[in-house]
Amino acid sequence: MSDIKKKSPIWHPFTQHALFPEMTHIARGDGAYLYTKDGHRLIDGISSWWVVTHGHCHPRLQAAAKAQMEKLDQVIFAGYTHDPAEEVARGMVDLTPDGLDYVFFSDSGSTSVEVALKMALGYWYHIGSKRSKILVMENSYHGDTIGTMSVGERGVYNNPYNSLLFTVDCLPFPAKGAEQETLDQLEAKIKADPDGVAAFIVEPLIQGAGGMMMYSAETLREMHRICQEHDVLFIADEVMTGWGRTGTLFACEQAGIVPDIACYSKGITGGFLPLAVTMCHERIFNAHYSEDRSKTFFHSSSYTANPIACAVAAENIRMWQDEPVMERVSRLASSHANWLEALARDDRVENLRQCGTIAAFDIKVTDGGYLSDIAPRLYRYFQENGILLRPLGNTVYLMTPYCLSDDDLSHLYGTIGRALDDLS
In the complex, which residues of this chain contact ligand PMP (CB under 6 A)? 108-110, 113, 141-143, 203, 208-209, 237, 239-240, 265
Least distance from ligand PMP to the Cβ atom of residue 406, Å: 27
Residue (173 or 339) nearer to ligand PMP, CB:
173
Minimum distance of ligand PMP from residue 188's CB (angstroms): 26
| 390 annotated among ligand-binding-site residues | yes
Q: How far is the CB of 212 from ligand PMP (least distance, A)?
A: 11
Give the nearest distance from C-beta 418 to ligand PMP in angstroms: 28
Find the shortest distance in angstroms from Cβ 109 to ligand PMP. 2
Q: How far is the CB of 422 from ligand PMP (least distance, A)?
A: 29
Nearest of 53, 64, 60, 58 to residue 325 by alpha carbon: 53
Instruction: Determine whether the annotation assigns residue 125 to a binding site.
Output: no
Are 136 and 201 in contact by the 8 Å Cβ rule? The answer is yes
- Give me the least distance between CB of 223 and ligand PMP, in Å please: 16
49 labeled part of a ligand binding site: yes
Residue placing its CB nearer to ligand PMP in the complex, 143 or 356: 143
Of the pair 153, 408, the CB lying nearest ligand PMP is at 153
34 vs 116, which CB is nearer to ligand PMP? 116
As measured in angstroms, the least distance from the Cβ of 354 to ligand PMP is: 18
Q: For residues 29 and 143, which CB has a smaller minimum distance to ligand PMP in the complex? A: 143
Q: Select 29 or 109, whichever has its Cβ closest to ligand PMP.
A: 109
Q: Is 141 annotated as a binding residue?
A: yes
Estimate to the nearest angstrom the gap between the alpha carbon of 309 and the chain centroid: 18
302 annotated to a ligand binding site: yes
- Which of 48, 129 has the CB closer to ligand PMP? 48
| CB of 410 vs ligand PMP, minimal distance in Å | 27
Positive or negative, the Cα torsion across 289, 295, 299, 302? Answer: positive
Is 266 marked as a binding-site residue?
Answer: yes
3-state secondary structure the chain: CCCHHHHCCCCCCCCCCCCCCCCCCEEEEEECEEEECCCCEEEECCHHHHCCCCCECCHHHHHHHHHHHCCCCCCCCCCCCCHHHHHHHHHHHHHCCCCCCEEEEECCHHHHHHHHHHHHHHHHHHCCCCCCEEEEECCCCCCCCHHHHHCCCCCCCCHHHHHHCCCCEEECCCCCCCHHHHHHHHHHHHHHCCCCEEEEEECCCEECCCCCEECCHHHHHHHHHHHHHCCCEEEEECCCCCCCCCCCCCCHHHHCCCCCEEEECHHHHCCCCCCEEEEECHHHHHHCCCCCHHHCCCCCCCCCCCHHHHHHHHHHHHHHHHCCHHHHHHHHHHHHHHHHHHHCCCCCEEEEEEECCEEEEEECCCCCCCCCCHHHHHHHHHHHCCEECCCECCEEEECCCCCCCHHHHHHHHHHHHHHHHHHC
Return the number of the residue (148 or 415) whose C-beta is nearest ligand PMP: 148
Instruction: Tell whether 163 is in a known binding site.
Output: no
The whole-angstrom separation of Cα 210 and Cα 202 is 12
- Please, which residue, 203 or 408, has the CB nearer to ligand PMP? 203
State which residue has the least CB distance to ligand PMP.
109
Contacts of 105 (CB under 8 A, 6+ apart): 77, 85, 88, 275, 276, 277, 304, 305, 310
User: For residue 159, which of 168, 169, 149, 151 has the smallest C-alpha distance?
Assistant: 149
Judging by DSSP bridges, how do beta strands 349-355 and 358-363 pair with one another? antiparallel
334 is in an annotated binding site: no
Please check if 124 is assigned to a binding site. no
User: Which residue positions form the known binding site for pyridoxal 5'-phosphate?
Assistant: 109-110, 237, 301-302
User: Which residue positions form the known binding site?
Assistant: 49, 109-110, 141, 237, 266, 300-302, 390
User: Which residue positions form the known binding site for substrate?
Assistant: 49, 141, 266, 300, 390
